Structure 1
Amino acid sequence: MKFISILTTLSFCASLLSAQNKKEKDSASPKSFAELTAGAVKSANGMLPVFAKDDKIYFQIRREILNKELLVVTRVQKSSAGNSEIQVGDEASSNVIKFERGMNGKLLMRKVYYGVYTPDSSASMYQAIERSTLMPIIETFPVTAIDGADSSYLIDVTNLILGENELFSFDNFFKIRMPFISSISIVSDKSFLQSFSSFPENVEVVFQKTFNQTRTMITRSEKPAPINETTTYELNTSIVKLPDVPMKPRLADARVGYFSVGKIDFETNSQGVKRRSYIKRWRMEPKKEDMPAYLRGELVEPAKPIVFYIDPATPAKWVPFLIQGINDWQKAFEAAGFKNAIIGKKAPTKQEDSAWSLYDARHSAIIYKPSEIENATGPSIADPRTGEILESHIHWYHNIMHLIRNWYMIQCGMADSAARTPVFPDSLMGQLIRGVCAHEVGHALGLLHNMAGSHYFNVDSIRNKAWVEKNGYSSSIMDYARFNYVAQPGDGISRTGLLPRIGLYDKWAIEWGYRLLPPFESEAKENAYLNNWIIKKNTDAIYFFGSERSWDPRSQREDLGNNAVKAGELGIRNLKKMVPNLVKYSFSSNDSYEGLNDIYRALIKHYRTLLGHAMDYIGGSYETLSSANENLPTYAPVAYQQQKEAMVFLNEYFFKTPTWLLDTSIMLKTGNTPTGTIADIQSEVLRRLLYPPFRFHAIAARNESIFAKTYTLSEYLSDLLKFVWAELNSSGNISVYRRSLQRTYIAMFLETYKESKGLLSLTELPLSGYTNITSHDVAPALNAHLKNLMKLMRIKSQQKLDTVTRNHLSFLIDEIETALYG
């Protein structure tokens, strides 16, 4: 009887629950599509129609869009007043999503990751990978209305667009790059939709968002000062359908410099895991009717050329030069079999195309930014499945012109008279803009920096008028070989031989990445073909690629030629001629001497850079990548004689005080002091030579049991003693500049000695190219060097010296004794 009573109670409760669920289901049932969208503002009937009504924003998700990967990119369309860190055109976020049907009539939004290589369903690891890569659900949407026979779904995306999330706002990666902003939160009642439009392949949504943010300001006090402020940004979000037919990817190779998308590969190696990377490149294919001609080796136009539009806000006089910088890459694409493959264009006016937008993800563009930042960048958005570049928005900061003016005046002012003025002629500045633009377009095409571009060239050839005007001074415009600073006034080299250009490496890299290959039976055979192609090309050093992350002295920033010592001597020879004329060259009437101080500081920086090029020979090694079947060594130390020459160069142009920098007129007009100027240079250069202890360990690692005769640690210390401490082996006082050098030397050397006593192994030592270097000899060698210095200082102190020199030596002896004995 009790059992029956329980059943009756359960049955009654179930009927109540069923009735309640039915009532809730009826109240939550989707409304009529026509009723809900009546009177709404609607976009064109594109890929994903948008509706706005009664402060609500809706997306119409058609059934054919379900489970399709959509790229969502948000950019800053207007930046906030008083906030110079976040600029117009900055990419706030980039993600891939997809919509799918969920439980209870809801639509789910998943974030899609491509970090794991997923083979086809026949592969042995397919099911295991599928089980381990469930894509996270980041949003759920009740279906507000259904159109037709379940053919499309209307969902409310108001909170998605105007709220705080990584799709329609600044993502975490962007915030990490803005460390001065310690917190940021959206102000909902001050954020609103501005406009929207839908096209066949994409949707564009424009909205303004207001944030409360805390900025950390650097002050003279020990604690940074937080500042609370309100900022408003106009953002543009593009939602683009990824290609239905993914582009055939091409595996990356470290010997040809391309950006890449990386994946973990569990399938290829049955007994382990490997990384696979696909190069980033545009889809470059002939038209179907032109395929036979292409295969015959004829130049053909691509089915879809790469087009870069110039921001309408760009000053009109620079537009032709930017277009030239884009079109300069046409010759490189001809090496891959395509003509007119890349085109620069003015952006259409509103009268010409009212729907065109600079921030539309279907368009690539150069965005002009009114900013104090001295830079330009060439980022791109790529399909994470294949590396296909879908679009690029190059950032062009207005103040880049200040930077390249300084560079060109300092490096080529003695060879080009037009550069001897604070305001360059438009014709000259335009050519400088063209070169920078071509470099950034190279990045947008997928190319990395090639820091070894100039190393192939003989320094004497770079000074030869006929030779350099024909061949240039670098094999790659992706090198940081800014301008031809070794050219001397008497060489008669025209601007053609002073400015950068697209070189043979660039053409080869485009050919390797973009040439359509014949079909292969397998990926392995295609890779073998590409590998053999590289091996054949690399027999000529002009096609050598040098990574910017390499410590190979061939791959340096802003160097020229195959001999850093010789190029440095010529560069400094020009600087010595420049310094006495700097006041005249930088003079601007009714202006302060701020411009003079600015260019003087830039000149000193270039001088330090020239010293650094030779410095990287010391303890350096060459890194030459090859495939295993070539059976070649990867690493080799810099030759003994080159390292010795580098030390002699440093003695001549650094250890011996560069008093030629101390022009009295400059000092009096800028407020720089001779001792302060020299001390700053000494500190910067000695830091690279002495601290931290990497260089000592790199030199010590070159033991003669592995290598031929190399520059040893004892010889390095002996040369430092000879050049820095020459006065200890001669009579006489020590000058103020040399005292500064020696005191800085001891301060940094003692820091290095302190660290070296507990440092027996360095993992992945960057200066050497080797890993897990162990040297028990460094600390004892530094200890002996300090004791020898102390001994020589005591002997020197017995001489007849002025008070300043005697105090100097006494102070240094005390410092060394304290470090050695406590």
Structure 2
Amino acid sequence: MNKSNISLGIKALLILMLSLNTPAGWAQKKDKKSKTEKSVETEKDAATTSKNYDELLKKGTYKKGMFNTIQVKTDLYFEIPDSLFQRDFLIVNKLSQVPMEINEAGANKGMNYENRLIRFYKDSTAKKVWVKTRNPRTSSPATDAITQSVQNNFSESILEFFDIESQNADSTSVVIKVNKVFDGNQKSFNDVLAGLGLPTSIKSNLSFIETVKSFPENLIVKSQLTTTVNEGGSDMPVTLGVTSNIVLLKETPMRPRFADQRVGYFTEKHWHFNDKQHAMKEREFITKWNLEPKEEDIERYLNGELVEPKKPIIYYIDPATPPQWRQPIIEGVHDWQVAFEKAGFKNAIIAKLPTAEDIDFDVDDVRYSVITYVASPKSNAMGPAVIDPRSGEIIESDIIWWHNVMTSLHSWMRIQTGPIDPKARGNKFSDQHMGEAIRFVSSHEVGHTFGLKHNMGASYAYAVDSLRSKDFTAKMGGTAPSIMDYARYNYVAQPEDGVTAITPKIGVYDTYAIEWGYRWYATAKEEEKALRSLIEDHQDDPNYFYGEQQSYLNIIDPRSQSEDLGDDAVLASEYGLKNLKRVVDQLLNWTYDEGENYYETGKLYIGTIGQWQLYNKHVLSNIGGVYLNHAVHGNGKSAYEPVPYEMQSKAMNYLTKNVLEIPKWLFFNEVLNKTYALKDSPVGPYEYTPYTLARELQYTLIYELLMDERLLRLTESELIQSELNKGKTYTVNDLFTQTYNAIFAKTSKGLSLSILERMTQKNYVDALIISTNKLFEKTNKNGIQLDSNLNIPSLCNLQNEDLNLRNINYTAMKRVSEVTSFKKAELLKIKKAAQIAKTTGDSATKAHYLDLINRIDEALNL
């Protein structure tokens, strides 16, 4: 605003004041009261609010706790003591009831959908309580000059306010009415619809506060919140039961433990400033429980004796859990005792049903870590945690256990272990056999609640043939050195091997990771030195390798894959195929049920096909793969190491034999006389015809084989290896040569092609055309999305797990990379071959070649 505008503004203000006949200095004079007048007014206000307080107590129901609560009919009041203003609180919001419509969408009781750090501030002048929120990602020494800048540049924001309705007799607490943040009128404390991704709003006239409970360090408010969703053109009511926990955090946060990329923990990012820095320090805190020895046991602990922690980790089993599954779940928790003993603690973890002594037990109360059992058609389990964001301390963990997780376990065991285990073949398992599987899943999910991430690289530690050894698997305890891998069941072992240890168990990596995360040290300096030493002592042992989970859409490091086994994906998959052939041979026998239809047969059949595709993906990831090692100064490791030439070539040979040539034993067999492969859908079983299914799945593999990222990784590796004289590497030319020779071998000989052979050529040409055209698209369109996983179940899709293995940019400026040259050259090569062969073979083959020529001409604008 310039000076003339300012002058005009002042003039306008003066005119307005004159028109109101108000002297300019009147307002100031009005405020100039004597101290005596102000004191009398303050005492008067205090007396009024104190009187209101007494009236509230007479009318309402009073409960003592962290905040005393007063309920007057439908109104809810918090009494906040002065001692708790400017303290840190965490709001934790959970679902406590859901209707069918939300259940079907995958949201269920026990889910934590929103957390927020807040502080309350009393403003006596404005007679308000302000609620502010902040992101506690920054810190600095209190005495450093930069601390003032940190406070100003990472300040709090006002989230909500409440009028002060009353105060107690001695003015040490104030009373606020809080209905609006719990009954759906305001979203500041609880935005359940945003948390669930529902683009609607709460109907306040159909919503209300249900109950409130207050305890010494937390309180919970339960509400019923109603909205409407439009389904098929009509509005449908949806009422959600929600529980808001307000948790008082410690005045002094737990001493954080800094993350190391070589051990897999969930983390909280943190920025640290101080006066001596030349640059801000960015570190990550691991998320962990605060396990400490009791004061009287510290000396014994430091001398290497096992001691009980000051406060053990307790998991409560949801009373809604069917009785036959309670003990396996409890045993899955207790299996971790051995790992915590490695960290120096005995009886550190306890799992139990709530008893009469737990008089305040509430599944939704954050004082209780609960394994919540969910009635739902969803097949899953997950283990999230509530974190103190100031330090990474886990203050509560919940495992959400869906009833139908057993369908996933049943499918895995039948397909992966049925050939070697008679107990895993029927349409229904014994409770004992299913209980063993539930115990394994319980252990895996509990591992997440300790802060552990997936370690998808663990299974790479075992040689494939070792998995066929009864002695080795019994000694090592299953399929991988970590239960945090997705090394489900031993599909490598053959019937003649006699292997019985086929279920994953707590392994050496798990005990090592718990020791690294939970061993207690007296000082931060001792901790840092000991933790670094622990990693360095194990860095060359493959059993302690940590491989982070990657997006299944773009695997870079083939060692860290989901659902794979062993150190050689090709050999493991070949053994797996032998067992799949045995499953296919027994499909009708294993699913036989007198008088029933073939639904179970079709379901098991599509699961078997899905397992075949899973093996293909494991092998495929080696082509263009790069081993991403944990290189740090002093350990001599190469950060980027291309998968060896021999392994990539062997992988391509496997795909040639088992994908480019469709396995007829899998897609065309006697099962088709009774049923097609079946996949459940919302409208009933979906029946896949064999030719359509084979075509779709083969196309998926070919398309992914030719994906730009893979070809660019091959190009990068070729360039680096040649420039640094590091030896032979697998190239894009090798890939195209092997693929072309496999697909067009009969074309070069002028022979007629079968339907499946024509199908493969069309798939290859179309994948080349589509992927080439995408390079020149100006808009960011979605690529082909095929349901290539079929009926292979997944598990524990964690909300807070990062699925990107480092940010390595292979894809910038793809249009001007070698990828376009290779793909266009391959299309022209195919066109030339088709032109030569277009007069050979039977009529169907000739028509096929003319079609290929036409497609390529149109794609390349020839």
Query: What is the TM-score with the length of structure 2 in the denominator?
Result: 0.87
Given the superposition, is the C-alpha separation of residues 621 and 403 from structure 1 closer, same or farther in structure 2, using an over 3 Å criterion?
same
Given the superposition, is the C-alpha separation of residues 541 and 12 from structure 1 closer, same or farther in structure 2, using an over 3 Å criterion?
closer
- Corresponding residue number in structure 2 for 1:500: 504
- Corresponding residue number in structure 2 for 1:805: 845
Given the superposition, is the C-alpha separation of residues 654 and 77 from structure 1 closer, same or farther in structure 2, using an over 3 Å criterion?
same
Q: Which amino acid aligns with 1:232?
A: T
Given the superposition, is the C-alpha separation of residues 132 and 214 from structure 1 closer, same or farther in structure 2, using an over 3 Å criterion?
farther
- Tell me if the contact between 2:110 and 2:400 (Cα under 8 Å) persists in the aligned partners: yes
- Work out which of the residue numbers 820, 823, 830 in structure 2 matches 1:789: 830
Deviation at 1:582, TM superposition (A): 1.1
Q: How does 1:79-118 map to 2 (within 5 A)?
A: 79-84=98-103, 85=105, 86-102=107-123, 104-118=125-139
Deviation at 1:377, TM superposition (A): 0.5
- Tell me if the contact between 1:260 and 1:278 (Cα under 8 Å) persists in the aligned partners: yes
Q: Which amino acid aligns with 1:265?
A: H
Deviation at 1:103, TM superposition (A): 5.1
Deviation at 1:251, TM superposition (A): 0.5
Given the superposition, is the C-alpha separation of residues 781 and 25 from structure 1 closer, same or farther in structure 2, using an over 3 Å criterion?
farther
SS at the partner of 2:176? strand
Deviation at 1:598, TM superposition (A): 1.9
> What CA distance in whole angstroms lies between the structure 2 residues aligned with 1:727 and 1:269?
72
- Corresponding residue number in structure 2 for 1:189: 205
Deviation at 1:520, TM superposition (A): 4.6
SS at the partner of 1:52? strand
> What CA distance in whole angstroms lies between the structure 1 residues aligned with 2:66 and 2:511?
38
Aligned: 1:699 with 2:714:
yes
- Tell me if the contact between 1:336 and 1:510 (Cα under 8 Å) persists in the aligned partners: yes
> What CA distance in whole angstroms lies between the structure 1 residues aligned with 2:185 and 2:634?
53
Given the superposition, is the C-alpha separation of residues 49 and 813 from structure 1 closer, same or farther in structure 2, using an over 3 Å criterion?
same
SS at the partner of 1:75? strand
Deviation at 1:719, TM superposition (A): 0.4
Given the superposition, is the C-alpha separation of residues 66 and 660 from structure 1 closer, same or farther in structure 2, using an over 3 Å criterion?
same
Q: Which amino acid aligns with 1:531?
A: R
Instruction: Report percent identity of matched pairs.
Output: 33
Q: Which amino acid aligns with 1:498?
A: I
- Corresponding residue number in structure 1 for 2:8: none
- Corresponding residue number in structure 2 for 1:681: 697
SS at the partner of 2:764? helix
Given the superposition, is the C-alpha separation of residues 767 and 446 from structure 1 closer, same or farther in structure 2, using an over 3 Å criterion?
closer
- Tell me if the contact between 1:620 and 1:767 (Cα under 8 Å) persists in the aligned partners: no
RMSD (CA atoms): 2.8
Aligned: 1:38 with 2:54:
no
- Corresponding residue number in structure 1 for 2:438: 433
Which stretch of structure 1 is more off in the superposition, 184-193 or 280-289? 184-193
Deviation at 1:346, TM superposition (A): 1.0
Deviation at 1:275, TM superposition (A): 2.5
- Tell me if the contact between 1:93 and 1:166 (Cα under 8 Å) persists in the aligned partners: no
Aligned: 1:777 with 2:796:
no
> What CA distance in whole angstroms lies between the structure 1 residues aligned with 2:43 and 2:228?
40
- Corresponding residue number in structure 2 for 1:335: 342
- Tell me if the contact between 2:709 and 2:811 (Cα under 8 Å) persists in the aligned partners: no
- Corresponding residue number in structure 1 for 2:646: 641
Given the superposition, is the C-alpha separation of residues 776 and 73 from structure 1 closer, same or farther in structure 2, using an over 3 Å criterion?
closer
- Work out which of the residue numbers 267, 270, 278 in structure 1 matches 2:277: 270
Deviation at 1:474, TM superposition (A): 0.3
Which stretch of structure 1 is more off in the superposition, 642-651 or 145-154? 145-154
- Work out which of the residue numbers 54, 60, 76 in structure 1 matches 2:79: 60
- Tell me if the contact between 1:49 and 1:198 (Cα under 8 Å) persists in the aligned partners: yes
- Tell me if the contact between 1:214 and 1:227 (Cα under 8 Å) persists in the aligned partners: yes
- Corresponding residue number in structure 2 for 1:719: 738
Q: Deviations over 1:758-795 (max 9, x none)?
A: 89xxxx99899565777743322222222111111122
Q: How does 1:250-329 map to 2 (within 5 A)?
A: 250-267=257-274, 270-329=277-336
- Corresponding residue number in structure 1 for 2:93: 74
> What CA distance in whole angstroms lies between the structure 2 residues aligned with 1:40 and 1:51?
6
Q: How does 1:118-133 map to 2 (within 5 A)?
A: 118-133=139-154
Q: Which amino acid aligns with 1:699?
A: L
SS at the partner of 1:805? helix
Given the superposition, is the C-alpha separation of residues 12 and 64 from structure 1 closer, same or farther in structure 2, using an over 3 Å criterion?
closer
Paired residues in the alignment total 790
- Corresponding residue number in structure 1 for 2:782: none
Which stretch of structure 1 is more off in the superposition, 630-639 or 590-599? 590-599
> What CA distance in whole angstroms lies between the structure 2 residues aligned with 1:751 and 1:356?
58
Q: Deviations over 1:638-682 (max 9, x none)?
A: 000000110111112111221011354422332443312211221
Q: Which amino acid aligns with 1:793?
A: A
- Work out which of the residue numbers 351, 371, 377 in structure 2 matches 1:366: 371
- Tell me if the contact between 2:81 and 2:174 (Cα under 8 Å) persists in the aligned partners: yes
Deviation at 1:407, TM superposition (A): 0.9
SS at the partner of 1:438? helix
- Tell me if the contact between 2:123 and 2:130 (Cα under 8 Å) persists in the aligned partners: no
Given the superposition, is the C-alpha separation of residues 121 and 209 from structure 1 closer, same or farther in structure 2, using an over 3 Å criterion?
same
> What CA distance in whole angstroms lies between the structure 2 residues aligned with 1:720 and 1:12?
91
SS at the partner of 1:186? coil
- Tell me if the contact between 2:133 and 2:159 (Cα under 8 Å) persists in the aligned partners: no
Q: How does 1:482-493 map to 2 (within 5 A)?
A: 482-493=488-499
> What CA distance in whole angstroms lies between the structure 1 residues aligned with 2:276 and 2:831?
59
> What CA distance in whole angstroms lies between the structure 2 residues aligned with 1:465 and 1:552?
29
Which stretch of structure 1 is more off in the superposition, 578-587 or 567-576? 578-587
Deviation at 1:55, TM superposition (A): 2.1
Q: Which amino acid aligns with 1:502?
A: I
Deviation at 1:128, TM superposition (A): 0.6
Aligned: 1:199 with 2:220:
no
Q: Deviations over 1:11-50 (max 9, x none)?
A: 777787899999999789524222222131122x211111
Deviation at 1:119, TM superposition (A): 1.3
Aligned: 1:540 with 2:561:
no
Aligned: 1:454 with 2:459:
yes
> What CA distance in whole angstroms lies between the structure 2 residues aligned with 1:770 and 1:92?
32
> What CA distance in whole angstroms lies between the structure 2 residues aligned with 1:666 and 1:477?
36
Deviation at 1:475, TM superposition (A): 0.8
Query: What is the TM-score with the length of structure 1 in the denominator?
Result: 0.91
> What CA distance in whole angstroms lies between the structure 1 residues aligned with 2:742 and 2:276?
55
- Tell me if the contact between 1:294 and 1:300 (Cα under 8 Å) persists in the aligned partners: yes
Aligned: 1:241 with 2:248:
yes
Q: Which amino acid aligns with 1:680?
A: E
- Corresponding residue number in structure 1 for 2:855: 815
Aligned: 1:474 with 2:480:
yes
Q: How does 1:550-569 map to 2 (within 5 A)?
A: 551-569=556-574
> What CA distance in whole angstroms lies between the structure 2 residues aligned with 1:768 and 1:59?
47
> What CA distance in whole angstroms lies between the structure 2 residues aligned with 1:642 and 1:716?
12
> What CA distance in whole angstroms lies between the structure 1 residues aligned with 2:403 and 2:704?
33
- Corresponding residue number in structure 1 for 2:390: 385
- Corresponding residue number in structure 2 for 1:750: 769
Given the superposition, is the C-alpha separation of residues 805 and 25 from structure 1 closer, same or farther in structure 2, using an over 3 Å criterion?
farther
- Tell me if the contact between 1:92 and 1:169 (Cα under 8 Å) persists in the aligned partners: no
- Corresponding residue number in structure 1 for 2:751: 732
Aligned: 1:668 with 2:673:
yes
Q: Deviations over 1:378-422 (max 9, x none)?
A: 000011010000001110011111011101100001011011101
- Corresponding residue number in structure 2 for 1:406: 411
Deviation at 1:150, TM superposition (A): 1.6
Given the superposition, is the C-alpha separation of residues 415 and 205 from structure 1 closer, same or farther in structure 2, using an over 3 Å criterion?
same
Which stretch of structure 1 is more off in the superposition, 226-235 or 12-21? 12-21
Q: Which amino acid aligns with 2:228?
A: N
- Tell me if the contact between 1:619 and 1:699 (Cα under 8 Å) persists in the aligned partners: yes
- Corresponding residue number in structure 2 for 1:519: 523
Q: Which amino acid aligns with 2:770?
A: E
> What CA distance in whole angstroms lies between the structure 2 residues aligned with 1:189 and 1:254?
51
Q: Which amino acid aligns with 1:63?
A: D
Aligned: 1:653 with 2:658:
yes
Given the superposition, is the C-alpha separation of residues 528 and 629 from structure 1 closer, same or farther in structure 2, using an over 3 Å criterion?
farther
SS at the partner of 2:772? helix
Deviation at 1:238, TM superposition (A): 1.3
> What CA distance in whole angstroms lies between the structure 1 residues aligned with 2:821 and 2:247?
63
Given the superposition, is the C-alpha separation of residues 167 and 514 from structure 1 closer, same or farther in structure 2, using an over 3 Å criterion?
farther
Deviation at 1:528, TM superposition (A): 4.8
